[in-house]
Amino acid sequence: MTSLDVKDGVDQETVEAVRSVGGHYKYGWETEIEMDYAPKGLDSDIVRLISAKNNEPEWMTNWRLDAFSRWEKLEEPNWAMVDYPKIDYQDIYYYASPKSMAEKPKSLDDVDPKLLETYKKLGIPLKEQLILAGVEGAEDVNLDERKVAVDAVFDSVSIGTTFKDELRKAGVIFCSISEAITEHPELVKKYLGSVVPVTDNYFATLNSAVFSDGSFVYIPEGVRCPMELSTYFRINAENTGQFERTLIIAEKGSYVSYLEGCTAPKRDTNQLHAAIVELVILEDAEVKYSTVQNWYPGDENGLGGIYNFVTKRADCRGDRSKVMWTQVETGSAVTWKYPSCILRGNESQGEFYSIAIANNFQQADTGTKMIHLGKNTKSRIVSKGISAGNAQNTYRGLVSMHPKATSSRNYTQCDSLLIGNKCGAHTVPYIEVKNNSSRVEHEATTSKVDDDQLFYCRQRGVNEEDAVALVVNGFCKEVLQALPMEFAMEAQQLVAISLEGSVG
């Protein structure tokens, strides 16, 4: 994350990165670490136990229990264009935490070296590794000029948040959601579940009952967050579900850019990830939320991989508020994800930029919802879907203009690229316009990676795999440019890596 000068399409570094990983999922190792598990399966006792592990107040425990009893009555949805074996919800661990986290380490010597090793492999700089490992006082160590505050979630628990003090000076709260529940209950009570209601959908209800950790961000009125905030999620323990919950509140006139990255080890079994992200955006505030999702996608025969069933929603409550979702979805065996924008405030704006890559036997059903409620609201959707191997990639998007959302506008551009002829791309747009001063534009294209383009690159000396990466990165350029610099590089490399083996 240090080299920032490359943003012009794909670069040589991309090509090198591909070679250096040599055709393997880069984050596929696992950390052997002593874990503290709750018993397998789910019932109200497990919900209570998760709540107790986090030292939650009673109102929170009850909130979870209420969600759990609702979830028990729900049916798993099956409308998405994805196909996977029935999940046995009683065969999953709902809580796993490294044992060494039970007590905060006092110095480097007390930190479980395996934990440090994990962060090192993930490319997180040493000083931040210390902070993440929870070493007291590590924050006073003089950090490099890199200004990205990181929160890392390892299986079920948040490991630590860097730059806390510096952020606090600016009035920004960036901590784990469990900490927020105990330290800032008034904010959590007010906003938790206010964007994604407990009963929103099957996976959201499940998450509400069992979420174990996640990140919390509060940006006070008029504050421009002094650095990028980022969360790193990693699933390590086997047969463990990860249910994190992110809540971001941007008060009037504030601004924050938030990045989220995810990885998981290689395993033959499937693992469930059902997260919720809620963004509350008040008058004149702006939130940029970027995701690079690189959960283990399964092997080339479709064995293993993460089920990524995620509900992300932004509520643009205030007038002139703005949200921008950018996602690079390259991982997971099955993805089911529709980051949405509720454009409630007048003149509020929502943008969605997405790259979804499905290779081998991956399935992705992803898109967005733009719900226009306020006057003069604007939304823009740019979706780039890439399918290779035997993969299926679906864009599913809703644009809804309510009667009061007069003079509103949406522009949707939805491009699909196919590599080979065993994969599929599907576009499912839903459009509802209930007033006559609003305008909705939708453009969709489907194309194949052009043999002439590949030959042209190869004639100049670029090998076939690098040529595909080059062409695909070009195809995704608009979305890559929407990412913060630090992620743009990583995302380009991911594009290349995730397409390995798609040609020849």
User: What is the binding site for other proteins (CB under 8 A)?
Assistant: 5, 8-12, 15, 450-453, 455-464, 466, 470-471, 473-478
Look up tokens 């704006």; give the residue: 349
Helices (H), 137-233: 164-169, 177-183, 185-191, 202-210
Going by the DSSP 8-state scheme, the letter that residue 167 receives in this structure is H
Nearer to other proteins, 342 or 470 (CB): 470
Q: Is residue 178 helix, strand or coil? A: helix
Least distance between other proteins and beta carbon 472 (Å):
9
Nearer to other proteins, 139 or 466 (CB): 466
Least distance between other proteins and beta carbon 459 (Å):
5
Nearer to other proteins, 49 or 454 (CB): 454
Least distance between other proteins and beta carbon 449 (Å):
11
> CA 396 → CA 156, 441, 502, distances in Å?
30, 15, 24
Question: Hey, what are 314's tokens?
Answer: 């932004």
Nearer to other proteins, 325 or 475 (CB): 475
Least distance between other proteins and beta carbon 104 (Å):
44
Contact (Cβ atoms closer than 8 angstroms) between residue 194 and residue 132: no
Q: Is residue 217 helix, strand or coil? A: strand
Residue 149 β-bridge partners: 229
Nearer to other proteins, 310 or 480 (CB): 480
Contact (Cβ atoms closer than 8 angstroms) between residue 214 and residue 177: yes
Q: What are phi and psi of 450, to 5 degrees?
A: -80, 125
Nearer to other proteins, 235 or 425 (CB): 425
Nearer to other proteins, 278 or 415 (CB): 415
Least distance between other proteins and beta carbon 453 (Å):
5
**Number of residues that this document lists for the chain:** 504
Least distance between other proteins and beta carbon 489 (Å):
13
Least distance between other proteins and beta carbon 388 (Å):
18
Least distance between other proteins and beta carbon 503 (Å):
12
Contact (Cβ atoms closer than 8 angstroms) between residue 479 and residue 450: no
Nearer to other proteins, 16 or 43 (CB): 16
Closest C-alpha among 392, 364, 360, 395 to residue 381 = 395
Burial class (CB in 10 A: 0-12, 13-18, 19+), 422: exposed
Look up tokens 């979804």; give the residue: 356
Question: Hey, what are 336's tokens?
Answer: 């089911």
Nearer to other proteins, 15 or 259 (CB): 15
Can you tell me the distance from the alpha carbon of 95 to that of 86, in angstroms, rounded to the nearest whole number?
Answer: 21
Least distance between other proteins and beta carbon 495 (Å):
12
Nearer to other proteins, 59 or 455 (CB): 455
Helices (H) and strands (E) in the chain, counts: 13, 23
Least distance between other proteins and beta carbon 13 (Å):
10
Closest C-alpha among 122, 120, 166 to residue 142 = 166
* Identity of the amino acid at 33: I
Closest C-alpha among 353, 343, 339 to residue 407 = 343
